Amino acid sequence: MGGVWMFKEGFTQLVENPLAEPLDGRNMTGVRRKVLVHVATNGAITNYDQLEEKLREKGWTRYYAGDSNLRQYHKSDCTNDLISLPKSFAYIKTMHMYDIVVKVPNTFVVRDS
């Protein structure tokens, strides 16, 4: 079991992934965490159910024939557009968010949390 012991909220706790833990809106490296935002609703996308709903509205569907360690979406069978994301939403990084922004233009933006 790995991690870092931190004093937080008046007590000590073990943080297994300190780079992902927010500290006053920033992670341990001092960088603000990013969030994927749906432009039309101005709402943050916080799970795959929300993301999949918004992608479906734009013609994207879940792609099951690819790598089982990834969650993938494709635009249609006649294009090469494919969005590949980690299996768990908790592991989505900024690069994944920008991939979505580029492949689904005028629908999502990436902002500081």
Q: What does the pLDDT profile of the chain (113 residues) look like in tens digits?
A: 466 777 766 777 776 665 555 555 555 555 578 999 999 999 999 999 999 999 999 999 998 887 889 999 998 767 788 999 999 999 999 999 999 999 999 999 999 98
The whole-number pLDDT of residue 68 equals 87
* Structure confidence at residue 72 (pLDDT): 94
Structural domains in the chain? Answer: 1-32 (no CATH), 33-112 (3.30.920)
Q: Is the pTM higher than 0.85?
A: no
Rounded CA-CA distance 25/33 in Å is: 7
DSSP 69-94: TEEEEES-TTS--EEEEESSGGG--H
